[in-house]
């Protein structure tokens, strides 16, 4: 029996189009001590799956901001049965959920709200003290991480220091870029990959490549190197990175996003991507991008998801070998 709100076959609507549902839990951690969810060390747990690009955003920011000792990270594996997220030792996950011994991520959602009818998604930010979900929306979790724990961090890691990820003078431009990058690229790959009709796939796959063409052009404009908005890594880089690092290895073949490849067809994006991935300097706190990127997992995770959408059993998955290597060296 597949439960309706975790049923992967129902990801696409009747017309074959994948339309992502809005996240349901949208509270905020605040630096104010009187807030419902005040910023405190050892109080919050971030649940992720390493394959998920939305969860990956939060994992990168946790690492870039130096929040590893402040926010606990728990990895959940890909479900071997019909339920998507399972604590089963795969993808670096524990055998059981560490706080309550649950088997599935959905058990946390149902603990908070037994009537919950939304999807059981990662990332999930959990408050140990109130036993509530703070948020399951990555774009908002990363923004809390930028600022709200800053009183607990050294000056050089604070948002008002030189490494601000969402600096005031760039907010308008970052928001504008986020908007089209989200629709055309971050979510664009899913609109191709989870389409269950030829019409839905055809209606979306070209728009994705128009988005990548636009990024390639953006990176050629003054003030847009080496990072998307100049000398410093910003939110825009993080949000684009998690899709592009999965592109050649997984989306190209498994999501049928195969009109162009980053490594062969987008020299500027390819350079920018490798610059972030291979950076193990202090700028990325010793490799926040590389350390959180698990290229070997991406094919299997996406093949399993697409298999679930089409009712194809996991044990029969055959994974594509290439491209080799999964990411090229910086100077190739
Ligand atoms: N808008 C959410 C999307 C999260 C999301 O869709 N996560 C996927 C994994 S990559 C998921 O958990 N899907 C399970 C499902 O839809 O049942 C965010 O950015 O946090």
Residue 138 annotated in ligand binding: yes
Round to whole Å and give the CA distance between 91 and 107.
19
Split at pLDDT 50, 70, 90, the class of 6 is: low
Listed residue (147, 136, 148) closest to 40, CA to CA: 148
Q: Closest ligand 1 atom to the C-alpha of 51? A: 10
* Poorest-pLDDT segment among 8-22, 158-172, 188-202, 230-244: 8-22
pLDDT for position 4: 43
Secondary structure letter of residue 30 according to DSSP: B
For the stretch 94-132, pLDDT in tens is 999 999 999 999 999 999 999 999 999 999 999 999 999
Query: Domains (ranges, CATH) in the chain?
Result: 4-157 (3.40.30.10), 169-316 (1.20.1050.10)
pLDDT for position 185: 98
Residue 20 CA to ligand 1 centre (angstroms): 8
Round to whole Å and give the CA distance between 205 and 239.
20
pLDDT for position 1: 35
In the sheet with 44-48, reading across from the earlier edge strand, the strands are 72-75, 44-48, 124-127, 132-135
Round to whole Å and give the CA distance between 93 and 75.
5
Round to whole Å and give the CA distance between 244 and 111.
35
For the stretch 173-199, pLDDT in tens is 999 999 999 999 999 999 999 999 999
Q: Contact at 8 Å (CB) between 215 and 241?
A: no
- pTM for this prediction: 0.96
Give the residue-averaged pLDDT of 293-309. 92
Q: Is 135 helix (H, G, I), strand (E, B) or coil?
A: strand
pLDDT at 17 over 50: yes
Query: To the nearest whole number, what is the mean pLDDT of the chain?
Result: 94
| Three-state secondary structure string covering 54-94 | HHHHHHHHHHHCCCCCCCEEEECEECCCCCCEECCCHHHCC
For the stretch 22-55, pLDDT in tens is 888 999 999 999 999 999 999 999 999 999 999 9
Round to whole Å and give the CA distance between 132 and 113.
9
Q: Contact at 8 Å (CB) between 203 and 17?
A: yes
Count CA atoms closer than 13 A to 227's CA, side-chain side.
22
Residue bearing the CA closest to ligand 1, atom 10? 52
Residue bearing the CA closest to ligand 1, atom 8? 121
Give the residue-averaged pLDDT of 266-289. 98
Q: Contact at 8 Å (CB) between 55 and 138?
A: yes
pLDDT for position 265: 98
- CA end-to-end span of the chain: 49
Give the residue-averaged pLDDT of 60-65. 98
pLDDT over 90, % of the chain: 84
* ipTM passes above 0.85: yes
Q: Closest ligand 1 atom to the C-alpha of 57? A: 19
Q: Is 5 helix (H, G, I), strand (E, B) or coil?
A: helix
């Amino acid at each position: 029996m597949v439960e309706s709100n975790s049923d992967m076959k129902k990801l696409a609507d009747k017309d074959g189009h994948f339309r992502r549902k809005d996240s349901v839990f949208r509270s905020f951690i605040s630096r104010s001590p009187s807030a419902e969810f005040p910023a405190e060390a050892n109080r919050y747990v971030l649940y992720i799956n390493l394959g998920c690009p939305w969860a990956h955003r939060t994992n990168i920011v946790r690492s870039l901001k130096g929040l590893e000792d402040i926010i606990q990270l728990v990895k959940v594996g890909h479900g071997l049965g019909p339920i998507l997220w399972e604590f089963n030792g795969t993808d670096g996950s524990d055998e059981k959920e560490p706080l309550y011994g649950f088997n599935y991520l959905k058990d946390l959602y149902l603990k908070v709200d037994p009537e919950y009818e939304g999807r059981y998604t990662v990332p999930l930010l959990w408050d140990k003290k109130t036993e509530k979900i703070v948020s399951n929306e990555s774009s908002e979790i990363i923004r809390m991480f930028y600022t709200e724990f800053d009183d607990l961090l050294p000056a050089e890691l604070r948002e008002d220091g030189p490494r601000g990820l969402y600096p005031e003078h760039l907010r308008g431009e970052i928001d504008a870029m986020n908007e089209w990058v989200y629709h055309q690229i971050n979510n664009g790959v899913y609109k191709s990959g989870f389409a269950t009709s030829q019409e839905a796939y055809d209606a979306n796959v070209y728009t994705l490549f128009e988005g990548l063409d636009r990024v390639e052009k953006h990176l050629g404009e003054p003030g847009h190197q080496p990072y998307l908005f100049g000398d410093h890594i910003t939110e825009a880089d993080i949000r684009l990175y998690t899709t592009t690092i999965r592109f050649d290895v997984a989306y190209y073949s498994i999501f049928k996003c195969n009109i162009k490849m980053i490594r062969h067809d987008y020299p500027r994006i390819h350079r920018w991507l490798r610059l972030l991935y291979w950076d193990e300097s202090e700028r990325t706190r010793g490799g926040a991008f590389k350390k959180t990127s698990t290229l070997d997992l991406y094919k299997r995770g996406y093949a399993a998801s697409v298999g679930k959408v089409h009712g194809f059993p996991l044990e029969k998955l055959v994974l594509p070998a290439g491209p080799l290597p999964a990411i090229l060296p910086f100077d190739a």
